Copies of this chain bind each other. A is one copy, B any other.
Amino acid sequence: MVAEAIRKAALRLVRERGYRNVSIGAIAQAAGVARQTLYNRWHAKADLILDAVFEETGRRADDQLPLETGDASRDRLERLLIGVFNHLRADGDTLRALIAAAQEDSEFREAFRERFVAPRETIVTDILAEALRRGELSREADPDTLSTMIHGAFWYRLLNGRELDHELARSIARSVFP
């Protein structure tokens, strides 16, 4: 439960002050633990923040996907994207900071890829693979490339400081499933 308290303190501080203005020391103080407790568990600030955001968004990403699969794949994809974009209105700046941190530290980039990026790719490629089975997507379509283009679209918008709105979610879903 100490880890959860630390994650919550980290997420709160990062949302209040921004990624760059929060130190490991400040997170330790807010969580009421020693700095060493954090370093025992996380390699660096980026790893801790990734963990805090990952735990949080992992739950939310699951919330967005219906258990039943009766809906059209286009609607599932649009709803997933709307959920992701809603989340990024709160934590988009943190995600931008983590993507930037990943460019400066190849070890963190690997961790980021494994724990954050890859699971989210799977959610989208699962929707696309199901669409292929149902005949909602051309048999020549490549789910990996489409998934790259879908995730890429909102990374690109986010990193260029532009809005992620429902219109974009709808337009991406319509581009993938014309």
Oligomer copy total? 2
Contact A145 B172 (CB under 8 A): yes
Residues of B within 8 A of A140 (CB): 174, 178
What chain B residues lie within 8 Å of A2 (beta carbons)? none
Given contacts A103-B97, A140-B178, contact A172 B159 (CB under 8 A): no
Given contacts A99-B103, A100-B104, A103-B96, contact A148 B153 (CB under 8 A): yes
Grouping DSSP codes into helix (H, G, I), strand (E, B) and loop, the A interface class, with mixed when no group exceeds half, is helix
A134 at the interface (CB under 8 A from B): no
Contact residues in B for A103 (Cβ distance below 8 Å): 96-97, 99-100, 159
Q: A100-B104, A103-B159 are in contact. List 10 more A-B contacts (CB 8 A).
A: A97-B103, A99-B100, A102-B159, A148-B153, A149-B153, A149-B172, A152-B152, A152-B156, A152-B157, A155-B156
Is A160 located at the chain interface by the 8 A CB criterion?
yes
A-B contact pairs, 19 of them (CB 8 A): A97-B103, A100-B100, A100-B103, A103-B159, A109-B160, A109-B161, A117-B160, A140-B174, A142-B175, A145-B168, A146-B175, A148-B168, A149-B149, A149-B152, A149-B172, A151-B156, A152-B152, A152-B155, A152-B156
